[in-house]
Amino acid sequence: MTDRPAPSRLAGERTDYLAGSLPDDAPADPLALFDIWLAEAFARREEQGDLTEPSAAVLSTVALAADGAPRPRSRTVLLKGHDAEGFVVFTNLGSDKGREIAATSRAALLMPWFALQRQVRIEGTVEHIADPDSDAYWAHRPRGSQLGAWASHQSRTIASRDALEAQYAEAEARFAGADVPRPEFWGGLRVRPESLEFWQGRAHRVHDRILYSALSDGGWERHRLQP
């Protein structure tokens, strides 16, 4: 018999999921289910402390290469608002993600709640939120974060950490003794969902998946997907 190499640690890594289920009679409105799951994610952090950043979301966009080939790109952001109109994040609009969204008007969000063995996928179109709403959120940001937004030319190369610290010091000096205004290049983006998929881990990798697809009349069509 030929000796076979032992599986790598990654190949052997396996956790069975036993935390819960998604019933066939899940709420007809996906936003109602999202609110329940988000509240449970925050409760898990407060009660057990093993779910950090309940509002963390992986934002995926598509960049087009010089030859026209699509290049998916992902990064983690923080969800800062959601309602019937969509899901809101804030960013430097001149960053890679800002430019990619401007070019395609589309994005996807993934909210991973590992401790609850859950995730939610959100896909849809993207629009800028109104300036007054961006101003209102900006006003509640810590001053250091406001200065950081002015200091960083997000996604651009820089020679060193010292150079970045120098740009921050320059922003500090520029706005010393005054409120820090919101830059025109910084604001909110709203993902208007065309679909939401709720995923609950189950035993033997026979997971629960419920997909909600938006209808033209404002309602939702709900389907159970095979894992």
Extract the annotated binding site: 14-17, 75-80, 90-91, 97, 119, 137, 141, 145, 154-155, 199, 205-207, 209
Closest CA to 63 of 21, 22, 107, 93: 107
Range of the domain at 42: 27-134+183-225
Which residue carries 């396996």 as its tokens? Answer: 14
Express each pLDDT in 127-178 by its tens digit: 999 999 999 999 999 999 999 999 999 999 999 999 999 999 999 999 999 9
Instruction: Examine residue 174 and state whether it is found in any structural domain, yes or no.
Output: no
Assess whether pLDDT exceeds 80 at residue 187.
yes
pLDDT at 43: 98
Binding site listing for FMN: 75-80, 90-91, 97, 119, 154-155, 199, 209
pLDDT above 80 for 7: no
pTM of the model: 0.92
User: What's the rounded Cα separation, in Å, for the pair 84 and 214?
Assistant: 12
pLDDT at position 6 is 65
Pairwise CA distance, residues 146 & 181, whole Å:
8
Query: Which among 99, 205, 222, 224 is annotated as catalytic?
Result: 205
Does the annotation mark 205 as catalytic?
yes
The runs of H, that is alpha helices, within the chain are 9-12, 30-48, 96-104, 131-139, 143-151, 161-174
- pLDDT score, position 11: 87
- The answer to the question of residue 22 being in a domain is no
| pLDDT higher than threshold 60 for residue 51 | yes
Residue 206 has pLDDT above 60, yes or no: yes
For the chain, what is the mean pLDDT? Answer: 95
* Tokens, residue 109: 């969000």
- State whether the Cα torsion 44-108-127-157 is positive or negative: positive
Mean pLDDT, rounded, for 20-33: 94
Q: Inform me whether the pLDDT recorded for 50 exceeds 80.
A: yes
Q: What is the mean pLDDT of residues 77-98?
A: 97
Does 1 have pLDDT greater than 60?
no
Other C-beta atoms lying within 10 Å of the C-beta of residue 213: 16
Domain membership of residue 4 (yes or no) is: no
If one counts the domains in the chain, the total is 1
Q: Which of 213, 210, 212 is nearest to 227 (CA)?
A: 210
- Percent of the residues in the chain that have a pLDDT greater than 90, as a whole number: 89
The b-or-e profile of 11-34 (16+ CB within 10 A means b, else e) is eeeeeebeeeebeeebbeebbebb
Residue 35, domain CATH: 2.30.110.10
Is residue 80, in this structure, part of any structural domain at all?
A: yes
Q: Is residue 217 in a domain?
A: yes
In a domain, 46, yes or no: yes
What pLDDT score does 186 carry?
A: 98
| Residue 118 reports pLDDT greater than 80 | yes
Which of 13-22, 87-96, 150-159, 164-173 is least confident? Answer: 13-22
In a domain, 170, yes or no: no
β-pairing verdict for 56-64 and 220-225 = unpaired
Q: Is the C-alpha dihedral spanning 210, 214, 218, 223 positive or negative?
A: negative
